[in-house]
A and B are shown apart, each in its own frame.
Chain A
Amino acid sequence: MLTTMNPYSFVEQDFIWVGEYIDGTCLPEYDFETKKRQDFYALQRNKLVRFGLVGHGMKLYYEVGGGFFKLNGQVYELVYRSDGKEYYLTGQFAPYNDVITYKDAEAWANLSRSDETKFPSRITAYNFGYKVKLQVDGVKFNFKPIVSIPYNKPAYFDITLVADRDLDGCLVIKKNGTEIAEFHAPLRAGVGGRLKWNIRW
């Protein structure tokens, strides 16, 4: 469904979220026929196979089986490397179905003089991703990758990672299987590390 659907929003909002189920049906933010808004919290996570955003000719989603991000047809994997060992944060045998999506928005007021435009409210970014608890080669990770699509700025990954022990390693980003970025990202046991990375398309 996500892979075959028309990648354009059909409501007055640049991107809409879509959850795809194992039976081939899906729950879009706005119903294709009635255009009625659907409840995100009604998403049936145990049936979910893909989740993401659709709009502007782009399909940005992740696979619930493995948590791989597929952004505009490119696969992104995230790996933590420490002491020559690679801990794959994507691709584990775990349900990556704890879905997250939200929009960043703002409302303005000009209080120091009368404002004819009243209080315009607008979306500044669209976000989606997930959070997951993993156990990889004996290390427990809490992993929360979010893809953020802001207006007037490049899209980026906002990655939060917590491990249950000290690790002096690197966060590695692979695109279509090839390593394209590496960041020194030392972790202290139980303390979250956070990295923002502008997506290289």
Chain B
Amino acid sequence: MSVLQPLVSWYAETNGDDEQVTRWDLGIVDASQVSQDFTFLIWNNRKGTEDVPDMQNAVIMTKDEWGGNTGELVEGQWIEVKVDQIDTTFHPIGWDVDTNQAVSRPIKTLGSTTNEDGTFTPNVPPHTTQNGEISILGVKNDGTLENAQGNYVKVSLHCRVPGNASAGAVNFRTRVTYQYV
């Protein structure tokens, strides 16, 4: 028996079983312009048949392609994020070179998941924590958008390229950090 931990996966917002997100093509974005929005789902334990731990205090940030904090896209906080149900506008994420700190945004769901054991909601007992808040449930679920709303967060990203950006392809990574018991 292996250890139980949150099982994080990313899916297109239409949530098809074969629509795991492995790529976001920004396309060509001209300087001084914003890319089109890219919306996806961050799941914990999608279609899981046994409960795994809840994700707590989850945040999203960007990193360069080596996992560091360099480059225009990260340092310039080009990527902006909007979390469904939580945010009413887009917020830049990346790295603040002045304070040497990651610039991140909390991700969490307000939805509930119903499975054969009952209906569960983040931050409603028994899914509470004494250390911050529950972001995404780990309870088993059928993986549908209707019944498993406590198990995923819907996130939109876009890229805002400043006028003084240098030309060329920019690679980056997205990092979600979280805690669990």
- 1/0 contact trace for B31-65 toward A, CB 8 Å? 00000000000000000000000001000000101
Known: A11-B3, A12-B3. A115 touches B181 (CB 8 A): no
A9 CA to B176 CA, complexed, in Å: 26
Which residue of the partner chain B has the closest CB to A31?
B1
Q: Tally of A-B residue pairs with Cβ under 8 A?
A: 99
Nearest CB in chain A to that of B50: its residue: A37
B177 touches A109 (CB 8 A): no
Q: B21: CB under 8 A from chain A?
A: yes
Given A111-B172, A112-B172, CB of A105 within 8 Å of CB of B181: no
Choice from A40, A41, A105 contacting B179 with Cβ under 8 Å: A105
Asked if A142 lies at the interface with its beta carbon under 8 angstroms from chain B, I say no
The answer to whether the Cβ of A98 comes within 8 Å of any Cβ in the partner chain is: yes
Of B3, B130, B170, the residue contacting A112 (CB under 8 A) is B170
* Cα–Cα distance between A102 and B26 once the two chains are bound (Å): 36
B23–A11 touching, CB < 8 Å:
no
Query: Is there a chain B Cβ closer than 8 Å to A70's Cβ?
Result: no
Nearest CB to that of B128 among chain A residues? A41
Contact of B173 among A12, A13, A111 (CB under 8 A): A111
Across the A-B interface, give the 8 residue pairs with the lowest CB-CB distance, nearest first: A111-B24, A107-B8, A102-B179, A112-B171, A35-B1, A40-B181, A109-B174, A13-B3
Q: Is the CB of B22 within 8 A of A114?
A: yes
**In the complex, what's the smallest C-beta–C-beta distance from A26 to chain B, in angstroms?**
17
Q: How far is the CA of A127 from the CA of B176 in the complex (A)?
A: 18
In the assembled complex, which residues on chain B have CB atoms less than 8 Å from the CB atom of A119?
A: 8-10
Q: Which chain A residues numbered 1 to 27 have a C-beta less than 8 Å away from chain B?
A: 11-13
Residues from chain A with a CB closer than 8 A to the CB of B6 are 105, 121
- A30, A104, A113, A131: the one contacting B177 at CB < 8 Å is A104
Contacting pair B3 A110 (CB below 8 A) = no
A112–B168 Cα gap in the complex (Å)? 13
**Which parts of A34-51 form the interface with B (CB within 8 Å)?**
34-37, 40-41
Q: Is A201 in the interface zone, CB < 8 Å from B?
A: no
